[in-house]
Amino acid sequence: MTVQLTSSAADTSGSSDLRDVLMRGTRPPRANAFTVTMTFGWRALLKIKHGPMQLFDVTVFPLMLTLMFTYLLGGAIAGSTTVYLQDLLPGILVMAILMITQYTGAALNSDRTKGVFDRFKTLAIWRPGSVIGAMLGDLVRYSIAGILVVLLGVALGFRPAGGVIGVALGLMVVLLFSFAISWMWTAAAFVMPTPHSTMAAGAIIIFPLTFLSNIFADPKTMPGWLQAFIDVNPVTYVVSATRNLMFDRPLGNDLLWVLVSSAVIVAIFGPLTMWLYKNKQ
Amino acid sequence: MIFPLRSEPAVEATGLVKKFHAVKAVDGVDLVVPRGGIYSVLGPNGAGKTTVIRILATLATPDGGQARVLGRDVVSEAAKVRERIGLTGQFATVDEELTGTENLIMLARLQGFSRAASVRRASDLLGAVSLDAAADRLVKKYSGGMRRRLDIAASIIVTPDLLFLDEPTTGLDPRSRAQVWETVRGLVEVGTTILLTTQYLDEADQLADRIAVMEHGKVIAEGTPGQLKSSVGVGTLRIRLREAAQRPEAIRVLAEDLQITAQEEADAVGLTARVPGSDADLAVSAVSRLAGRGISVTDFALGQPSLDEVFLALTGHTTDRNDQEEAA
Ligand SMILES: Nc1ncnc2c1ncn2[C@@H]1O[C@H](COP(=O)(O)OP(=O)(O)OP(=O)(O)O)[C@@H](O)[C@H]1O
Ligand SMILES: [Mg+2]
């Protein structure tokens, strides 16, 4: 019988290996802002790859909203679900995507409270890249959710006159506004103690913004004070712009207001997020 | 205290204060860590070790005092400090939802390595901390020791001039602990200064060139392991006698002949004595002196001073905790 001695060569060669590796660890030139952002985007996509169930949350919920509201309100409001669907679907698309933007805040809060963010904070990198990169990864999720909602809509009888291009342009408007409003949740992520409370804080804002808008019914049927709110609610303009693009109708000032309100939100909550990033411990 | 003026020290902190509401987590800490070698901060739970490390690593701003790391102010020149330090925090900061390789590639890319160089760096480092076999497994499936090693690898993608290690071996088995020590010593060889916190005196003793002992947010002692231990004694001598009746006489002999104060143990034949001095000679004479007086000893052992004993010697009380988890 031969006895095989397990070699300890691997253990002893370890230290010289280590020295070599450490000697090669000289600092390369600093990564630029684009590389930093894209690296964080790559991280977000890897998470989707390893945990595809993340997509379940963000797709099933919008599909459920579409089905529920089409059949719940279609008959009552427009007399027919197919007629109602033409107006409702772009609105539901906006609502669904705005609601799932809250996951952006929850994910950032989880990074912060779990300590992953501490690692990034000790690196000499372009800091907004970590937030923007994560948002870019999220835009992929929103796009998937948006496309699924439109496909379900088409199956139920949604017939946008603007065709594929009109639908794509409409979706881009929604994504643009989602990107802007995400900065509100990233700011909240630095203030709230847990991912859950970050989502809850977002919900307090996103529910009135989406329900008190022109998504479900024509504001002309509503009391004056409510019309006044709907008139200044940026979501109203996002919905109008999306509808008009999808149905190839004249845009008016809707798109302009979407751009202005997005810019204002980013101008306030972008710097606020980065200030909190730097100062909240 | 005089240090050779090779260059500015790795860390130079004066009067650091950090408050969390009413709690003064750090209460006037002065610290000078020379360049090169290993410096250890030793202290019980809640002493303020992590808070000091977070301030020095630019993760927290002090409420008072100043700190310079590698010659740069940690508040006003934080970005410059970050370019030259690494931190392995007390709790793992690697991303659980990615694999080990992906974690390291991401961090290498963020620090400016090209795509190809990042892939190579990740695989080199995983090899160096013996994680090659788990390279493509998700970190959430790693054991505590594996996470710790990955976290250390993540802190040395760019070999830092100063590496902070916050309790790098707490909760590790002896083998993982030895691996961490080996990595730490390797870093010292290539010129990295290590600032390491620990709750274990033997770890500080084996690794560190100098030790600062912290309690209640303050540094209560500082020096080389030798200086520290001689102030505490080599440790505790435990003696078991054959006859319980001889115990009072044994205590008297030790006190009169050798000036050693021995205490009675609960066990009627047991004695313990803290042995002063920095070598074991006195403990050896104690045992032979007892035998010479006809007191038969069945068993004796000399243990390293425990952290509790160091504290007892330094403060006159045992380690009570700042965080009030346990009353003293
Ligand atoms: N973020 C925080 N908020 C409130 N109190 C804190 C915070 N961080 C630390 N403390 C308190 O400050 C004190 C020092 O804590 P610190 O974590 O620095 O101790 P430590 O020496 O690292 O302890 P351990 O060995 O348990 O890690 C403790 O009383 C702790 O409760
Ligand atoms: Mg700690």
Domain membership flag for residue A14: no
CA A215 distance to own-chain centroid: 19
- Mutation test of ligand 1: which of B21, B45, B50 has the most ligand atoms closer than 8 Å to its C-beta? B50
Which tops the pLDDT comparison, A46 or B6?
A46
User: Domain limits at A193?
Assistant: 32-279
User: For residue B301, what pLDDT is reported?
Assistant: 85
Q: Which of A275, B154, B48 has the alpha carbon at shortest distance from B56?
A: B48
What mean pLDDT is predicted for residues A209-223? 87
Per residue in A47-85, is it b (16+ CB within 10 Å) or e — as a string? bbebeeebeeebbeebbebbeebbeeebeebbeebeebb
Ligand 1 pocket, CB under 6 A: B 20, 23, 25, 43, 45-51, 90, 199, 322-323
Residue A20 lies in a domain: no
B117 near A CB under 8 A: yes
* C-beta separation of B150 from B100 below 8 A: yes
C-beta atoms of A115 and B91 within 8 A: yes
Q: What is the pLDDT of residues B198-209, one digit of tens each?
A: 988 888 888 999
Residue A43 inside a domain? The answer is yes
CB B178 within 8 A of CB B149: no
**CATH architecture of the domain with range B11-230:** 3-Layer(aba) Sandwich (3.40)
CA distance to B18, B49, B54, B58, per residue, from B167 (Å) = 20, 9, 13, 18
Q: Residue A7 domain-assigned?
A: no
Q: Model-level pTM?
A: 0.82
Give me the pLDDT at residue B308, please: 66
Q: Is residue A106 part of a domain?
A: yes
pLDDT in tens, chain B (328 residues): 444 445 789 999 999 999 998 889 999 999 999 999 999 999 888 999 999 999 999 999 999 999 999 999 999 999 999 999 999 988 888 999 999 999 999 999 999 999 999 999 999 999 999 899 999 999 999 998 899 999 999 999 999 999 999 999 988 888 888 889 989 999 999 999 999 999 888 888 889 999 999 989 999 989 888 877 777 766 788 899 999 999 999 999 988 888 888 888 788 898 888 777 666 788 888 888 898 888 999 999 887 766 666 767 776 665 554 444 433 3
Neighbouring CB atoms inside 10 A of A13's CB total: 10
Domain map (residue ranges) of chain B: 11-230, 234-304
pLDDT at A16: 56
Helix or strand run (H / E) with residue B313: helix B307-315
Q: Are B194 and B39 in contact (CB under 8 A)?
A: yes
Among the partner-chain residues A18, A25, A43, the one whose CB lies closest to the CB of B106 is A43
| CA-wise closest residue to A174 among A220, A212, A138 | A138
User: Which parts of chain A fold into alpha helices (H)?
Assistant: 9-23, 33-50, 53-78, 81-100, 102-114, 116-121, 128-156, 163-191, 195-211, 224-232, 234-246, 254-279
Q: Closest Cα to residue B127, out of A200, A141, A16, A48?
A: A16
**Count of the separate structural domains present in chain A:** 1
Mutate to test the interface with B, among A21, A32, A113, A277 (most CBs of B within 10 A): A21
Once rounded to an integer, what is the mean pLDDT over residues A22-33? 90
CB proximity B313 to A under 8 Å:
no
C-alpha torsion sign, points A6, B128, B147, B211: positive
Nearest ligand atom owner, CA of B47:
1
Q: How far is CA A204 from the centre of its chain?
A: 17
What DSSP assignment string belongs to B159-205? --SEEEEESTTTT--HHHHHHHHHHHHHHHHTT-EEEEEES-HHHHH
A contact test, residue of B21, B56, B94, B97 with most A CBs within 10 A: B97
Instruction: Specify burial of residue A7 (Cβ count, 10 A radius: 0-12, 13-18, 19+).
Output: exposed
Both tokens assigned to A12: 């002893």
Which residue has the least CA distance to atom 25 on ligand 1?
B45
Lowest mean pLDDT among A63-72, A111-120, A157-166, B226-235: B226-235
Among candidate residues A184, A174, A189, the one with its CA nearest the CA of residue A141: A174
A-chain residues near B138 (CB < 8 A): 50
Round to whole Å and give the CA distance between A196 and A217.
31
Put simply, the answer to whether B186 touches A18 (Cβ < 8 Å) is: yes
Closest chain B C-alpha to A52 CA, distance in angstroms? 11
Chain A residues within 8 A of B182 when measuring between CB atoms: 14-15, 18
B136's tokens: 């493509």
B91 reaches A (C-beta below 8 A): yes
CATH topology assigned to domain B234-304: Alpha-Beta Plaits (3.30.70)
Contacts of A142 (CB under 8 A, 6+ apart): A58, A97, A100, A101, A174, A175, A178
Burial (Cβ within 10 Å: 0-12, 13-18, ≥19) of residue A10 = exposed
Q: Which residue type does A145 have? A: A
Instruction: Return the structure tokens found at A44.
Output: 């977000």
Interface-testing mutation among B102, B107, B111, B151, with chain A (most A C-beta atoms within 10 A): B111
Mark which residues 168-207 of B lie under 8 Å from A by CB: 182-183, 185-187, 189-190, 192
